[in-house]
Amino acid sequence: MIDEADDMLRGCDGSDGLSELFGGRTQASGDKGLLNSVLDGVQVPCVWIANVGPESLAPSSRRRFDYSILFGKLDASQRAAIWRNSVSKFKLNRLVTPSLIETLSGKYETSAGGIAMVLRNLADLKPKAADCAALIGKLLEPHCALLGIQTGSAKGVSRDYSLAGLNIHGDMSPVRIVEAVRAFQDHKGDDPDRPRMNILLSGPPGSGKTEFVKHLGEVLKTKVIVKTGSNLLSMWVGGTEKNIANAFTEAENDRAILFFDEVDGLMQARERAQRSWEVTQVNEILQRMESFAGVFIAATNFLQNLDPASIRRFTFKLAFDYLDHDGKMEFFHKMFKTELTPEETNELDAIAHLVPGDFRTVRQSLFYLGATATNADRLAALRQESDMKRQGGVSSFASPIGFHP
């Protein structure tokens, strides 16, 4: 068994790993041939273990391996299984409960080695049951920071969120879409003609698109995996396509809803593309959408920028528009817990281009004023939010949002 074989295989991509290890000259062009000679000449069973991906090996070297196993990134269910096995191994079942394991496996994307390190230290420290969760966090946080592993699960739906008050247009009402997704999840069998469940959400920032996806996951008791451009876009050729493929695979393994937030930069119209990779990343998403067996949702602030062929691939399309009279009243009462006079109601109606996010922003900005904040303060702050949109050129959303022929 050749463990940590990264340096020995590194020469396959044009560098000089293997020849250096064998004392030869550093001739990059000869490394692939040297490795292939070693693979052809070995007379005993040999297992190579490396941390590099298969793309680091030339095709002529890859085909010389009789069998290969790719250990991909662990998903939450796999991490939970490792936590359970390791907890039993260290005899910590009394301290690490099943509910704690579920929380840890969702929050910390650590490896099996990291899990073993934490539990080994936990067994040595012998904490009280009440202190166990906090101690595990103190061990895992610096471990993940050292390895550059992001921690923390997505926040749940906002406590003041509801479909009431939202100004949504589309193929079907949001309530019926929730039921359609439920029926899709309950459907059994592998019918090749079964329609895919791809949902497109469009509308201005703050109009409730992301909260709707969280609401959907909460109602259906389904995990939501959120990906943004920062998670998916890569500086390396082919890296973005690989990240997109991994996202769909992760969601399929977890049986989760996959949500691409602010998808504008990933699915822009291909006829306006200036680089080849801008086209290939759109093609990758479309191909994955066709074969994905789960629920895929994309949200955009700029529907007009999306690739037309991409829009057609979505089963349902919802447009989140600016709030109407009922919506403004609903969110004013919901956020500020106060009543409006008829004059104040007219003032609120006169403020254009408001979205739920504006009410949340104003509530936060006036929070520390406490009881001294008045409706006049709230209306003035909302008016300022509306004015800033017009000054910033966001007023293009003033035109009706939806899907027009």
Tens digits of per-residue pLDDT, 300-316? 999 998 988 889 999 99
CATH class entry, domain 167-321: alpha beta
Answer whether 175's CB lies under 8 Å from 318's CB. no
CA 368 to mean position of chain CA atoms: 33
pLDDT the model gives residue 394: 55
Amino acid at the residue 91: K
In this predicted structure, the answer to whether residue 163 has a pLDDT above a threshold of 70 is: yes
- As a whole-number percent, the residues of the chain with pLDDT over 90 amount to 55
Domain ranges of the chain: 6-62, 76-147, 167-321, 325-398
pLDDT the model gives residue 332: 96
Nearest to 200 by CA among 285, 299, 266: 299
Average pLDDT over residues 245-269: 89
CA 13 to mean position of chain CA atoms: 31
pLDDT in tens, 184-233: 999 876 676 778 999 999 999 999 999 999 999 999 989 899 998 888 98
pLDDT in tens, 355-402: 999 999 999 999 988 889 999 999 999 999 999 988 866 544 444 444
Give residue 150's pLDDT band: very low, low, confident or very high (50, 70, 90).
confident
pLDDT the model gives residue 14: 46
pLDDT the model gives residue 54: 78
Alpha-helix runs per DSSP H in 90-208: 98-107, 112-125, 132-147, 174-186
Rounded-to-integer distance, Cα 309 and Cα 298, Å: 14
In this predicted structure, the answer to whether residue 104 has a pLDDT above a threshold of 80 is: yes
pLDDT the model gives residue 201: 96
For the chain, the C-alpha Rg in angstroms (whole number) is 27
The first and second tokens of residue 183, run together, are 């029926």
pLDDT the model gives residue 18: 45
In this predicted structure, the answer to whether residue 405 has a pLDDT above a threshold of 60 is: no
CB atoms near residue 248 (< 10 Å): 22
The residue that leads in pLDDT, 123 or 35, is 123
Rounded-to-integer distance, Cα 103 and Cα 123, Å: 20
Task: State the chain's maximal CA–CA distance in angstroms.
Answer: 90
Put simply, whether the predicted model's pTM sits higher than 0.85 gets the answer: no
DSSP structure class, residue 304:
G
Quickly tell me which residue has 């099996």 as its tokens. Answer: 112
Give residue 153's pLDDT band: very low, low, confident or very high (50, 70, 90).
low
For residue 196, how many C-alpha atoms fall within 13 Å in the half-sphere facing its CB? 20
Answer whether 273's CB lies under 8 Å from 314's CB. no
Rounded-to-integer distance, Cα 100 and Cα 17, Å: 44
pLDDT the model gives residue 334: 92
pLDDT the model gives residue 273: 63
Average pLDDT over residues 92-112: 92
Q: Residues 193, 198, 199, 202: is their CA dihedral positive or negative?
A: negative
Give residue 30's pLDDT band: very low, low, confident or very high (50, 70, 90).
very low
- Which residues, at least 6 apart from 178, have a Cβ–Cβ distance to it below 8 Å? 216, 219, 220
CB atoms near residue 150 (< 10 Å): 9
The residue that leads in pLDDT, 393 or 339, is 339
